[in-house]
Structures are given as C-alpha cells and as structure tokens.
C-alpha cells in the first residue's frame, strides 16, 4: 500500500491549488477518483479512503481554495469551488472521473455533477446534502431580512484560536471528534496547522471560508441535483445532528435539523441514488467510521462504476 504522495501545485489563473496524485495503480486501472474534503479540513483527512482505492484507481485529492497548502484568495462561494474542481480536472486531463466529497466537498461534487452531468462517471456524497431548506415568509420584509443576514455573514471576521503546539492541536481534534484515532489526529494537526505569528500553531485554513454559505440557494441546488445522470451514493451519519449541531446550541441547532420526510424529499430529487445511514457515526464520517466508509464506497464503485460494469 502506497504512502501519501508529495504535493503538486496546479495553477488556475491567479489562484493555485495543491494536489496529491497517486498516479496509475499497479494493476489495471478502473478509472480516476477525485476526493474533495470538507470545510476547515485538508485533503489528507481523506487519506484512509484514498489508500483503500489506490490498487484499482488513479486517486487524486486536493486542498480546496482557502484550505491546506492551496492559495487563500478570500473569495468563497459554491461556484468558486465548482470552478476550481473544473480547473483541476482540466489541468490533470481527467475525463469522467468518479467524484467523492465530504460535506462542503460533497456539496461541490453534487453542484458539478448537475452542471456538467456528462463529465461525471459516479458520485459519492458523504454528509454532502446539506441542511434543510429554511422556508421564508413570501414577503418583501422577510426576504430583505434574510439578505441582510447574509451580508452580516460576509462582514464577520472570525479568528482562529491559537494552539500551543501540534500536540495541543491534536488534542483539540480528538476532544471535538471523540472517535478520531489519536495517531490520525496528530497527522492532521501537523498538516492542518502552521506556526503562529506569536508562537505556537494556528489552523491553516482561512477563517473566512465559511462565507461560502451565504451563496447557497436551495432552489437552484434542487434543480442541479435533478439534472445529475450519474449514479450517486449518499452516506449520512446516524448521529450527525446530535454530535455536530447540538453542541452549537441555540436556535441554529433546531433550525438545521432535517426531518425524515425532508430528507426523503431531497433524495427523491436524484434520478439514480442509493442512500446509506451509517450507525455510530456523526458528520465526520471518515473520522468516526473510516473502515465502514471505505467498505461502502468500494462496494458501490464495484457495482456501479468499475470498467467491467460499464
């Protein structure tokens, strides 16, 4: 089994993205797989999944804009992330790859698959269907209030909380994600932090990446999901709401809780989708159940995307 590859820089006009390319597998290749991580994460977060696939596929992962070693332009929207994905596929000459994304990465995969259905062979969305649509009263004041709330999101200036060293950063990860293997936490803490200006370590991702949320239009998303023609696997964590949103408390936690009926309506928008709810897993599926995720993805790709099945 191969180790994590060295970083390669891809120039996309004014921005640069850093990718990690395993190259062709040792045997016959079943195609290309591209992995997209979630918000405030790094490409290496999906390393266990990458390593489980390298014997059959060419696997590529990359740090999204504002994350990891990629450039931090300060501009973040759903279309920015899709444009970067298109740029990576073009730069690497990847035609009809399998796209796998977690959270923000899953949102990007689904957006891309709906906008460019002919360019996607199969898609895997790991906790990538987003929070439920929050209905707004169909009145001008309500719409204006919502627009002002999105302006407030863009005006916000969050700041990273410094960590004393890599060990402290790893401890922060395991305190937040209690099922994360401590050795993996150390790897991700080293990859996900840089020396701080006043000593210690600070998280590597741009604090403003979460501004992309202001660009989400649920009605447009639903149109794109309905346009996807590739087979889709959606995996959700059975404990995602309890382990991710409840900790944040307040009205936000209740507002983003999706009912079973809402989730079923969302799945019904896809032409060809399989859904699996993974037990003993929260939003960070790949932290909580890495072996389970690997098995689900491998089984799905063997059935729906391998060369022998096309």
CA 122 to chain centre: 16
- Which pLDDT does position 252 carry in this prediction? 46
- Which pLDDT does position 147 carry in this prediction? 81
Take residue 227 and report the two structure tokens written for it. 């346009």
**Locate tokens 């009263």: which residue?**
137
What element of type H or E holds 221? helix 218-226
- Which pLDDT does position 307 carry in this prediction? 56
How many Cβ atoms from other residues are within 10 Å of residue 183's Cβ?
9
- Which pLDDT does position 244 carry in this prediction? 57
List, in order, residues 6 or more apart from 220 with CB less than 8 Å away.
Answer: none
For the domain spanning 7-138+206-309, the CATH number is 3.40.50.1820
- Which pLDDT does position 17 carry in this prediction? 98
Contact of 206 with 244, CB cutoff 8 Å: no
**pLDDT beneath 70, residues of the chain:** 1, 131-137, 242-257, 307-310
For the chain, the domains span: 7-138+206-309
Cα separation, 158 vs 73, whole angstroms: 16
Burial class (CB in 10 A: 0-12, 13-18, 19+), 214: middle
């Amino acid at each position: 089994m191969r180790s994590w590859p060295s970083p390669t820089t891809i120039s996309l006009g004014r921005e640069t993205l850093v990718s990690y390319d395993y190259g062709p597998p040792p045997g016959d290749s079943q195609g290309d797989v591209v992995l997209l991580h979630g918000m405030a994460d790094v490409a290496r977060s999906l390393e266990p999944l990458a390593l489980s696939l390298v014997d059959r596929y060419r696997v590529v992962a990359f740090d999204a804009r504002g994350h990891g070693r990629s450039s931090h332009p300060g501009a973040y929207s759903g279309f920015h992330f899709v444009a970067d994905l298109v740029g990576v596929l073009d730069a690497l000459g990847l035609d009809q790859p399998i796209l796998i994304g977690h959270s923000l990465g899953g949102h990007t995969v689904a957006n891309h698959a709906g906008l460019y259905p002919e360019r996607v062979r199969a898609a895997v969305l790991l906790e990538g269907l987003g929070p439920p649509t929050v209905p707004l009263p169909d009145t001008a004041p309500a719409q204006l209030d919502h627009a002002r709330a999105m302006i407030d999101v863009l005006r916000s200036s969050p700041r990273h909380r410094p960590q004393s060293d890599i060990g402290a950063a790893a401890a922060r990860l395991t305190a937040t994600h209690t099922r994360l293997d401590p050795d993996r936490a150390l790897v991700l803490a080293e990859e996900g932090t840089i020396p701080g200006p006043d000593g210690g370590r600070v998280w590597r991702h741009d604090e403003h990446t979460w501004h992309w949320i202001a660009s989400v239009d649920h009605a447009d998303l639903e149109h794109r999901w309905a346009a996807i023609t590739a087979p889709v696997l959606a995996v959700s964590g059975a404990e995602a709401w309890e382990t991710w949103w409840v900790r944040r408390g307040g009205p936000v936690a209740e507002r983003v809780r999706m009912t079973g009926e809402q989730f079923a309506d969302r799945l019904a928008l896809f032409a060809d989708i399989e859904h699996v709810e993974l037990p003993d897993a929260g939003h960070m599926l790949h932290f909580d159940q890495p072996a389970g995720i690997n098995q689900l993805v491998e089984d799905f790709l063997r059935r729906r995307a391998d060369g022998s099945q096309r």
